[in-house]
């Protein structure tokens, strides 16, 4: 398997700039996920790596070869599409072997490769069936198997789970993670689904508006987002964003006074925060805990109660009208329109400046 390197890659379609100055390195054997909303350029970027779209500028390297001027068949990568792209009149075995037959691979080697891939994917019993006789998950495994037999330097997967129903998507996601562990393959996976990204990725590339917003491990992206966009896009429920009326300093830690008068002490150094306009405090729901004793930093009224089994989400409204989502235990007895008080873990708070840049406290020690 090979490293993939992109250097200042740009792409436009006519007058529309789709990607602008994108650079990154995908390590050999890494599972990298491109995550972002529709239209952010993630699928176009994947197709550029595969050679299905030309670059306007920049360089793409796979291993020790520059490939951005090479045709797709010379890049030694395998693409897995959203719609499977299986030949309906062929058996599973023939679908998997077709590409090897076209390049004159010996029959014995083809059989060995197909049998080996089928064993890895646990589809040996399906080799004589046709696509119409398979479930969506089985078809996806066949599409992946067709890629495996080519022994590529990297697998490129373009939203491969989006056509599956919810339950099958979860099972296939687990199978993909297991497959990556067994094969130690370089995989690049495109999705707009944050759960797929968080559960599959070694690292995530969060994309927005033609550019990369942040590259990091799933927990770096979740706990220490670089921008307000990343903080809002990753996480369910979405991060709370609370306007800051005043910022103070208590022993080198920023103290945020909210618009309703609530005070939250953060772990962020005030000196690191620029004076460039309105500050917003970001805090995730798990750091905002309902307190039955009535003591806590923030008070409001419950608007909506979401009972999720293992936890309860309380959507509250503060006195100035600001919305806040906090958590309670699964068997919560909180009622709509009831007054609620939350204890806030200020060490988990983030401050965002007027440009959307994030400012964090010290990273927690790794356990």
CATH, domain range 237-359 = 2.40.50.140
pLDDT at 365: 59
Tokens of 65: 């070869």
Reported as a single tens digit per residue, the pLDDT across 308-355 is 999 999 999 999 999 999 999 999 999 999 999 999 999 999 999 999
Q: Residue 367: what pLDDT?
A: 56
Task: Specify the residue for token string 């599959």.
Answer: 200
Contact 215, 194 (CB under 8 A): no
Q: What is the mean pLDDT of the chain?
A: 91
Domain locations along the chain: 4-232, 237-359
Burial of 325 (0-12, 13-18, 19+ CB in 10 A): buried
Specify the range with the lowest mean pLDDT, choosing from 50-64, 135-149, 234-248, 325-339. 135-149
4-232 and 237-359 share one fold: no
The predicted-structure confidence for 60-101, as pLDDT tens digits, reads as follows 999 999 999 999 989 989 888 877 788 999 999 999 999 888
3-state SS, 238-271, equals CCEEEEEEEEEEECCEEEEEECCCCEEECCCCHH
CA-nearest of 177, 110, 174 to 148 is: 110
Q: Which option is the CATH number for 4-232: 3.40.50.1970, 3.40.50.300, 3.30.1960.10, 3.30.450.40? A: 3.40.50.300
Distance set, CA 283 to CA 140, 224, 346 (Å): 38, 11, 8
- Average pLDDT of 252-273? 93
Q: What is the mean pLDDT of residues 236-244?
A: 95
* CA–CA dist 235, 219 (Å, integer): 11
- The pLDDT value given to residue 240: 97
pTM for this predicted structure: 0.88
Question: What is the pLDDT, as a whole number, of residue 148?
Answer: 84
Whole-angstrom distance, CA of residue 349 vs CA of residue 321? 20
Cis before residue 237, ω within 30 degrees of 0? yes
| Confidence band of 29 (pLDDT split at 50, 70, 90) | very high
Q: HSE-up of 153 (CA within 13 Å, CB side)?
A: 21
> What span, in angstroms and rounded, lies between the C-alpha atoms of 125 and 128?
8
CA dihedral 24, 29, 31, 34 (to 10 degrees): 30
Choose among 50, 101, 43: nearest CA to 74.
Answer: 50
Is pLDDT of 267 > 80?
yes
Confidence class of residue 173 from pLDDT cuts 50, 70 and 90?
A: confident
State percent of the chain over pLDDT 90. Answer: 72
């Amino acid at each position: 398997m090979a490293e993939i390197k992109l250097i200042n890659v740009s792409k436009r379609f006519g007058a529309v700039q789709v990607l602008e100055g994108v650079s990154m390195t995908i390590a050999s054997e890494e599972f990298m996920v491109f995550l972002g909303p529709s239209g952010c350029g993630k699928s176009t970027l994947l197709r550029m790596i595969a050679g299905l779209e030309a670059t306007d500028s920049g360089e793409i390297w796979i291993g020790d070869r520059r490939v951005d001027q090479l045709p797709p068949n010379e890049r030694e990568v395998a693409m897995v599409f959203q719609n499977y792209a299986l030949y309906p009149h062929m058996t599973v075995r023939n679908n998997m072997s077709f590409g090897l037959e076209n390049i004159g691979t010996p029959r014995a080697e083809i059989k060995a490769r197909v049998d080996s891939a089928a064993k890895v994917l646990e589809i040996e019993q399906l080799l004589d069936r046709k696509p119409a006789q398979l479930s969506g998950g089985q078809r996806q495994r066949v599409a992946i198997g067709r890629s495996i037999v080519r022994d590529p330097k990297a697998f490129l997967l373009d939203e491969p789970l989006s056509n599956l129903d919810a339950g099958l998507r979860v099972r296939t996601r687990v199978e993909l993670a297991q497959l990556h562990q067994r094969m130690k393959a370089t995989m690049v996976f495109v999705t707009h689904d944050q759960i797929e990204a968080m559960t599959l990725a070694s690292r995530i590339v969060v994309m927005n508006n033609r550019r990369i917003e942040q590259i990091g491990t799933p927990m770096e992206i979740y706990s220490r987002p670089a921008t307000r966009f990343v903080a809002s896009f990753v996480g369910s429920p979405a991060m709370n964003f609370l306007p800051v009326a005043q910022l103070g300093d208590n022993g080198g830690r920023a103290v945020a006074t909210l618009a309703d008068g609530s005070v939250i002490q953060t772990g962020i150094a005030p000196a690191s925060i620029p004076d460039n306009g309105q500050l917003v405090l970001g805090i995730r729901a798990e750091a905002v805990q309902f307190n039955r004793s009535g003591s806590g930093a923030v008070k409001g009224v419950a608007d909506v109660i979401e009972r999720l089994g293992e936890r309860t989400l309380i959507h509250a409204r503060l006195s100035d009208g600001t919305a806040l989502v906090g958590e309670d235990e699964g068997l919560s007895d909180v009622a709509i329109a009831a007054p609620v008080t939350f204890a806030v873990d200020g060490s988990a708070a983030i401050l965002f400046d007027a440009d959307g840049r994030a400012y964090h406290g010290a990273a927690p020690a790794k356990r």
